[in-house]
Amino acid sequence: MVRDGQLLQNRRGGYGVAQKLDLIPGVVIANAEGFGFLKPDEGGDDL
């Protein structure tokens, strides 16, 4: 289920249902200076 994206594992080893978590799907755009942005899949402004 983790490989299918139905469950997500947190840093403590716990699991959560992906659809019930308050997450924004998108692409992380990293910068060599150490900062980055999230470009949401649904469009809109970068975060």
pLDDT digits (tens, 9 = 90+) for 19-36: 888 888 889 999 899 899
Q: Is the pLDDT of residue 41 over 80?
A: yes
Structure-block tokens of residue 33: 């200076």
Q: Is the pLDDT of residue 47 over 70?
A: no
Q: What's the pTM value of the predicted model, to 2 decimals?
A: 0.52
Torsion of CA 30, 27, 5, 15, to 10 degrees: 50
Whether 8 and 21 have beta carbons less than 8 Å apart is answered as yes
**What letter would DSSP give residue 27?**
E
Whether 6 and 18 have beta carbons less than 8 Å apart is answered as yes
Sign of the four-CA dihedral 13, 32, 22, 6: negative
